């Protein structure tokens, strides 16, 4: 097991990374806005750099993943609008830490605030940007306590980053756990899944809970219902997930276990999203937002670790080697 020691500055940025015997494997010297200078070294060693956020050089975009948004150190701005912009109307919604990157950092993650309505049920009453993903009861009081951790930073946030006020989290609800357990242990074929994952089909968990619903019984459902919360176990941990998370996790899992590249999967998901709008005569090009993509990515990563995905990767590699030799 390799040991890494991180030496940080006052912003939490990783300045130097050394190993157990003191060898410097990475040295980061930052510009004011977070980009690394030419005097930096070992840049490929690890990617957690400015304010300890992950640096993503993919496709030459060179941005930091601040969880809630992507940050571009070349311009000192986020690449998308602040979901809490209405609280800071005096600042541009793309601003990074109020324009003071020398002294301040921008928090990542989100927390959700709930109040107890019964022994096992809690109602969402708020939520804002924070450094954790906990679900708190009696938030901000001396009785504050966490009842668990959300599956993703956006589990109970809408596409605009606002908490779904009024949604109920039922800690005794096992429907999501049962659905994912069955899905993972008896994974459907890719084409079968695709035809049964659109609105009101059995894999549209947030509407159907994984059951067939006759057309005459399909009625418009509230946003609070679609974001109803429950607990699910993954890798020995128990998370609090929304019903929307469950279906999106399954979508990512089916792509991951079939070893479909994440970029290709994202395009396919957005095409499906666009199609579902078009059949409602909502003409345009649509892309899924963070509440969807974060849960999909978790499911994708989970699917990539399965024996099936690993076997497919090996087959692809053998096929590739055969072709370059012949």
pLDDT digits (tens, 9 = 90+) for 48-101: 999 888 898 877 888 988 766 788 999 988 888 776 666 556 677 788 776 777
The more confidently predicted of residues 287 and 204 is 204
Distance CA 150, CA 2 (A): 30
Q: What is the pLDDT of residue 224?
A: 94
Q: Taking 80 as the threshold, does the pLDDT of residue 262 lie above it?
A: yes
| Structure confidence at residue 143 as a pLDDT band (50, 70, 90) | confident
**Most confidently predicted of 47-61, 167-181, 303-317:** 167-181
In angstroms, the Cα distances linking 272 to 20, 69, 210, 213, 286 are 49, 24, 19, 21, 9
Phi, psi angle pair for 180, to nearest 5°: -70, -35
Q: What is the pLDDT of residue 87?
A: 56
Phi, psi angle pair for 108, to nearest 5°: -115, 170
Distance CA 288, CA 274 (A): 9
β-pairing, 14-18 with 5-8? antiparallel
Distance CA 240, CA 248 (A): 14
What 8-state DSSP symbol labels residue 25? E
In angstroms, the Cα distances linking 234 to 31, 150, 256, 319 are 40, 12, 16, 33
Q: Which residues contact 186 (CB under 8 A, 6 or more apart)?
A: none
Q: What angle do CA 131, 157, 120 make, to 5 degrees?
A: 85
Q: Taking 50 as the threshold, does the pLDDT of residue 109 lie above it?
A: no
**Radius of gyration for the alpha carbons in the chain, expressed in angstroms and rounded:** 22
Helix axes 307-325, 243-257, angle to 10 degrees: 30
The more confidently predicted of residues 259 and 81 is 259
pLDDT tens column, 185-233? 999 998 899 889 888 899 999 999 999 889 899 888 899 999 999 999 9
The encoded tokens of residue 271 equal: 């095409």
SS3 9: coil
Average pLDDT over residues 105-131: 75
The more confidently predicted of residues 227 and 278 is 227
**Short-list 111, 104, 133, 98, CA closest to 13:** 104
The more confidently predicted of residues 251 and 317 is 251
Q: What angle do CA 174, 192, 300 make, to 5 degrees?
A: 60
Phi, psi angle pair for 287, to nearest 5°: -130, 145
| Structure confidence at residue 166 as a pLDDT band (50, 70, 90) | very high
Distance CA 215, CA 142 (A): 49
Average pLDDT over residues 145-164: 88
183: exposed, middle or buried (Cβ count in 10 Å: 0-12, 13-18, 19+):
buried
pTM exceeds cut of 0.85? no
**Short-list 225, 95, 227, CA closest to 159:** 227
Q: What is the pLDDT of residue 107?
A: 54
Q: Taking 90 as the threshold, does the pLDDT of residue 174 lie above it?
A: yes
What 8-state DSSP symbol labels residue 167? P
What number of other Cβ atoms are within 10 A of residue 151's Cβ? 27
Q: What is the pLDDT of residue 61?
A: 83
Q: What is the pLDDT of residue 263?
A: 86
Phi, psi angle pair for 165, to nearest 5°: -65, 130
319 membership: H or E segment, kind and range: helix 307-325
Average pLDDT over residues 155-166: 88
């Amino acid at each position: 097991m390799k040991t890494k020691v991180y030496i940080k500055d006052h912003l939490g940025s990783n300045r130097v990374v050394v190993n157990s015997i003191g060898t410097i494997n990475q040295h980061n010297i930052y510009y004011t806005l977070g980009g690394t200078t030419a005097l930096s070294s070992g840049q490929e060693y690890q990617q957690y750099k400015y304010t300890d956020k992950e640096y993503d050089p993919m496709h030459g975009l060179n941005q930091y993943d601040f969880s809630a948004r992507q940050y571009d150190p070349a311009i000192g701005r986020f690449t998308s609008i602040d979901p809490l912009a209405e609280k800071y109307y005096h600042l541009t919604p793309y601003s990074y830490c109020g324009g003071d990157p020398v002294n301040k950092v921008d928090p990542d993650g989100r927390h959700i605030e709930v109040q107890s309505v019964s022994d096992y049920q809690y109602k969402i009453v708020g939520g804002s940007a924070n450094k954790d993903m906990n679900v708190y009861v009696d938030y901000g009081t001396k009785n504050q306590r966490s009842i668990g951790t959300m599956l993703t930073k956006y589990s109970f946030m809408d596409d605009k980053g606002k908490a779904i006020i009024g949604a109920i989290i039922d800690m005794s609800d096992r429907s999501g756990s049962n659905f994912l357990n069955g899905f993972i242990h008896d994974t459907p074929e890719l084409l079968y899944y695709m035809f049964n994952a659109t609105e009101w089909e059995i894999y549209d968990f947030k509407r159907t809970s994984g059951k067939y619903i006759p057309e005459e019984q399909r009625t418009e459902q509230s946003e609070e219902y679609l974001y109803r919360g429950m607990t699910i176990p993954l890798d020995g941990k128990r998370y609090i997930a929304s019903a929307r998370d469950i279906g999106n996790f399954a979508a990512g899992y089916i792509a991951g276990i079939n070893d479909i590249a994440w970029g290709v999967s994202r395009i396919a998901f957005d095409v499906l999203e666009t199609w579902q709008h078009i059949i409602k005569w909502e003409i345009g090009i649509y892309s899924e937002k963070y509440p969807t993509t974060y849960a999909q990515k978790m499911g994708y990563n989970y699917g990539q670790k399965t024996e099936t995905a690993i076997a497919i990767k090996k087959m692809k590699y053998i096929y590739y080697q055969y072709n370059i030799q012949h």
